[in-house]
A and B are shown apart, each in its own frame.
Chain A
Amino acid sequence: MRFRARMQDALYMREFQSIIATLAKLAKECIMILADQQMHFIVNEEHNSTTAPLVWASIAAADYFPEYKMVPAREDHPYIVLAMSAAHLSRALAALRTGATVNSCKLKLQRIQFPCFSVIASVVSQQSAEPREVVHDVPVNVVAASDWPAYKIPKVPTSQLVLSMPSLRMMRNVIDSLKNMSPTMIFHANAGGELNLVAESEMVTITTAFRHLLLRRLVNRDPTDNDEQQVAPDASCSVDCRKASSFFSALQLPNEELSIGIDSENCIHLQLDVRESVVLHSILPAVCF
Chain B
Amino acid sequence: MYHSKKLHEKGIIRNRKMLTQSQYGDYKFVGHLDHIKTFHACIKSLCFGENGTVTFSEEGLRITVEQGKSIQATLFMDPKFFAEYHVKDLTSFGLKLNVFAECLSLFGVMDCSVKMLYKGDGAPLIVLLEPHNDDDVSTECAIKTLHVDEPIEYELDENSASLNVIFMRGPDLFNIFNELDKAAEELEFTLSPQRPHFKIATVGVVQAESTVEVAKSSDMILLFNCRDTTVARYKSQQLRLMNKALQAATKVAIKTDASGLLEMHFMMQSGDAEEIYVQFFLTPLLDI
Contact = CB atoms under 8 A, between A and B. Distances in A.
B110 A173 contact: yes
B15 A181 contact: no
A127 interface: no
Interface stretch (A62-70, A199-207, A272-280): A199-207
Most buried by A among B105, B110, B137: B137
Contacts of B131: 170
Interface stretch (B53-61, B140-148, B186-194, B246-254): B140-148
A205 B96 contact: no
Contact of B139 (A176, A181, A207, A212): A207
Contact of A174 (B15, B107, B124, B144): B107
Contacts of B141: 204-207
B111 to A, nearest CB: 12
Interface string B71-110: 0000000000000000000000000100100110111101
Interface stretch (B5-13, B24-32, B214-222): B5-13
Nearest to B146: A203
A98 interface: no
A208 interface: yes
A205 B108 contact: no
A206 B110 contact: no
Contacts of B134: 167, 170
B160 interface: no
B240 interface: no
A272 B106 CA distance: 23
Given A205-B4, A207-B139, A211-B136, A198 B12 contact: yes
A218 to B, nearest CB: 17
B106 A174 contact: yes
A169 B134 CA distance: 12
A52 B156 CA distance: 54
B7 to A, nearest CB: 6
A170 B137 CA distance: 9
B99 A207 contact: no
Contacts of B139: 174, 206-209
B14 interface: yes
Interface residues on A, range: 20 to 34
A203 B96 CA distance: 8
A37 interface: no
Given A167-B134, A173-B110, A177-B102, A200 B140 contact: no
A4 interface: no
B18 interface: yes
Interface in A164-220: 167, 169-170, 173-174, 176-178, 180-181, 186, 188, 196, 198, 200, 202-213
Nearest to A234: B10
Nearest to A193: B136
Contact of A204 (B4, B138, B144): B144
A205 to B, nearest CB: 4
A206 B103 CA distance: 8
A236 interface: yes
Interface string A139-179: 00000000000000000000000000001011001101110
A208 B138 contact: yes
A260 to B, nearest CB: 14
Given A170-B131, A177-B102, A180-B102, A205 B107 contact: no
Given A173-B106, A203-B144, A212 B3 contact: no
B129 to A, nearest CB: 8
Contacts of A177: 102-103, 105-106, 108
B92 to A, nearest CB: 19
Contacts of A236: 10, 12
Nearest to A178: B106
Interface in A215-273: 234, 236
B144 A188 contact: no
A167 B108 CA distance: 13
Contacts of B105: 177
A257 to B, nearest CB: 14
Contacts of B108: 169-170, 173, 176-177
A211 B137 CA distance: 6
Contacts of A207: 3-4, 7, 13, 139-141
A83 B105 CA distance: 40
5 contacts: A200-B14, A205-B18, A207-B7, A207-B13, A211-B136
Closest 7 CB pairs of A and B: A173-B108, A205-B18, A208-B139, A211-B136, A205-B142, A206-B141, A212-B136
